[in-house]
Chain A
Amino acid sequence: MTIAPSLSRQQPVSSTHPGPLLKVEDLSIEFGPEGTAVRVVEGVSFSIDAGAAVGIVGESGSGKSMTSLAVMGLIPSPPGRIATGRILFEGVDLLGLPRSRMPEIRGRDIAMIFQEPMSSLNPVMTIGDQIGEAIKLHEKMGREERRQRIIELLKLVGIPDPERRLGAYPHQFSGGMRQRVMIAMAVACNPKLLIADEPTTALDVTIQAQVLELMHKIRRTLNTTILLISHDLGVIADICERVIVMYAGKVVEDADVKTIFRSPKHPYTRGLLQSIPRLKDENTRLYQIPGMVPLPGTIKQGCPFFPRCPDRIDKCARETPPLLEITSQQKAACWVSAGATS
């Protein structure tokens, strides 16, 4: 696949900034009126280097989507609020920027794909107009040049007969095709960071594989840094080299994908891995982590995973474990894995 020159970025990605592309420090997000607010994300820190692909995995309610929305500056507010932390993008704190600056960054530097391709496209605009709008908002370009760019983008994401299809409306596309359109729209301005929030969850399995293949292709051809949010470790392992595991609004493990599959250090990660169905042991019951994810705000002290943990010790009930470095490649928020015994 050759890519027309207009699609590749003029200057190399992050030429000026030396550190990681995205650095999230101690991010906490609250919902509800001040005073009685509930923290749905607490003290989350991680960083992503330019060109990397990092996944965040967790159950619904673990705070993974909220974390990604916070990076986009799209936390619905009210009732949501960022209580603490910094989000450094190329060294600039996005939370410190005036509100009016965020639209310049959204779609141009950081773009996002959402979970529901069926409802994420505007039903009364043609897909050509919707992709074109993403370009028009950030780049000065003539009408014909823009049209050519839209056609290139549609080709890139594998929509057949793009010249004709750009005049079609979302309802004329299947779910998989709509997700391709969403991806085309997201990469229209060749963003440095692409956040994909459960991009394949709403799609059936064969289409999932195609969309994942497309994500690989985007990464190869556009050299985009990817932050992939999913509840499915398999999907993350397919795309990412590193994975961040979130539980009850906190990061509980952060390691590269191979290490996590080989030796998970947090009992929650182990539970997640055990609950992936495998072909060879078809006669055993699928593993299930006992108990339920605690409701936000219900855990007052100790490890949030304590009530469900098979390896818990007394210390876990008293003190909340921070994200501890186990090896240089792996961090886990677990006292037991870090060597505590009582």
Chain B
Amino acid sequence: MLYRLADAIPTIWLVLTLVFIAMRILPGDPAIAALGDGALPEQLAEFREKMGLNVPIWQQYFNFLIGTLTLDFGKSYMNGAPVLDLIARNLPYTIQLTVAAMILGTVIGIPFGVLAAVKRGKLPDSGMRIFSLVGYAVPDFYLGALFLIGFALNLRWFPINGAGSGFFDILHHLFLPALTLALVKAAFIGRLTRTSVLEVLGKDYVRTARAKGARENRVIYRHALRNALLPLATGMGLSLLATLSGSVAVELVFNRPGIGRLLIQSITERDYGVIQGGVVVFALMVVFVNLMMDLLYVVIDPRIRVK
């Protein structure tokens, strides 16, 4: 496990470097972006000095790496707040959204996939196919906008923006954005489940389970599904990462606080510190998710368990 963690370090370093380079290549001057076109040269110089932008580029890179190691991403160029605070304030919302979408997507996707596999070629299977086609084809920001207009603006069942406070209020605010991401995810998971369950249903041990006298439900849920989860776990990991990036668009559409919206905002403002910090957090989350997936395999599949 430690080895796996050590394995992630080069990945993170690469991401950091790419982000650093990308930010410096992009046109636009953070000092002008922060202070406006009318700022005096002295003000610009003072700003650059304060933010560490006046030193040679390799030294900026070095400072950035050291800063990341000590979890110090500097201050926002725009409002002077420490980047870490900004991230800490926004991160929980993104996690809420991602986790909710993941749970909802799985809860919708897996039973649908199983149903489609068991009723292969019949109505539920065709329904699943149409659903997943739509789910693949419709972009999440578009779906989100439709939901927003339909259920929040017109029907007024759900709030239009924000994240709410208090448990039920949070859930109320969370539902539509989470559903948006979840439907896309359910299409993917459902399709994957169907394929996986179909394959497993043809296995010899499924026949053995029937030969024991297990009824169909037991055969499917106790014997087939658990084995079908093995390939599914990989797909779910990938899909969780897709949801993370999907949350960027959905946070914008629903005007929800979160890392995604923070990132978009700081990119338009050339707020290097926040962008770098945000990307590092995303990279860490990706690494963390991959790690969790590896752990999940061990839980599901006894063959991987180390003695």
Q: Which residues of A contact B (CB under 8 A)?
A: 72, 74, 103-108, 111-112, 114, 116, 119-126, 133-134, 137-138, 169, 171, 182, 185-186
Contact = CB atoms under 8 A, between A and B. Distances in A.
B250 to A, nearest CB: 35
Contact of B214 (A114, A121, A133, A169): A133
Interface stretch (B136-144, B283-291, B299-307): B299-307
B61 to A, nearest CB: 48
A120 B214 contact: no
Contacts of A182: 208
A122 B226 CA distance: 10
Contacts of A138: 213
Given A105-B213, A116-B204, 19 more contacts: A72-B211, A106-B212, A107-B214, A112-B211, A114-B207, A119-B204, A120-B205, A120-B207, A120-B208, A122-B208, A122-B223, A124-B227, A124-B302, A137-B213, A169-B302, A169-B303, A171-B303, A185-B208, A185-B212
Contacts of A108: 213
Given A124-B226, A124-B302, A169-B302, A119 B211 contact: no
B209 interface: yes
Given A124-B227, A171-B302, A114 B204 contact: yes
Kindly name the residue among A72, A103, A126 whose own CB sees the greatest number of chain B CB atoms within 10 A: A103
Nearest 9 interchain pairs by C-beta? A107-B213, A107-B212, A106-B213, A119-B204, A169-B302, A122-B205, A120-B204, A134-B212, A103-B213
Given A169-B303, A171-B302, A121 B205 contact: yes
Interface string B135-158: 000000000000000000000000
A123 B222 CA distance: 12
A229 B287 CA distance: 53
A122 B209 contact: yes
Interface in B60-84: none
Kindly name the residue among B212, B213, B226 whose own CB sees the greatest number of chain A CB atoms within 10 A: B212
B223 to A, nearest CB: 6
B210 A106 contact: yes
Contacts of B215: 103
A152 B302 CA distance: 25
A108 B223 CA distance: 19
Given A123-B302, A124-B300, A133 B204 contact: no
Given A119-B203, A123-B227, A114 B213 contact: no
A133 B213 CA distance: 9
Which of under 10, 10 to 19, 20 to 34, or 35 or more describes the interface residues of B?
20 to 34
A114 B208 contact: yes
A133 B212 contact: yes
Given A103-B213, A124-B301, A137-B212, A74 B207 contact: yes
Nearest to B303: A171
Given A169-B302, A171-B302, A171-B303, A123 B205 contact: yes
Contact of B208 (A121, A126, A137): A121
A171 B226 CA distance: 16
B133 to A, nearest CB: 25
A320 B222 CA distance: 48
Nearest to B219: A103
Nearest to A116: B204
8 contacts: A105-B213, A108-B213, A111-B211, A111-B212, A119-B203, A121-B208, A122-B208, A124-B300
B60 to A, nearest CB: 52
Interface string B209-239: 1111111000000110011001000000000
A269 B303 CA distance: 45
A260 B248 CA distance: 77
Nearest to B302: A169
Contacts of A123: 205, 227, 301-303
A276 B126 CA distance: 53
A29 B57 CA distance: 79
A171 B203 CA distance: 16
Contacts of A105: 213
Kindly name the residue among B207, B226, B227 whose own CB sees the greatest number of chain A CB atoms within 10 A: B207
Contacts of A119: 203-205
B208 A106 contact: no
A124 B297 CA distance: 11
B214 to A, nearest CB: 6
Contacts of A125: 223, 226
Contacts of B210: 74, 103, 106
Nearest to A171: B303
Contacts of A122: 205, 208-209, 223, 227
A181 to B, nearest CB: 10
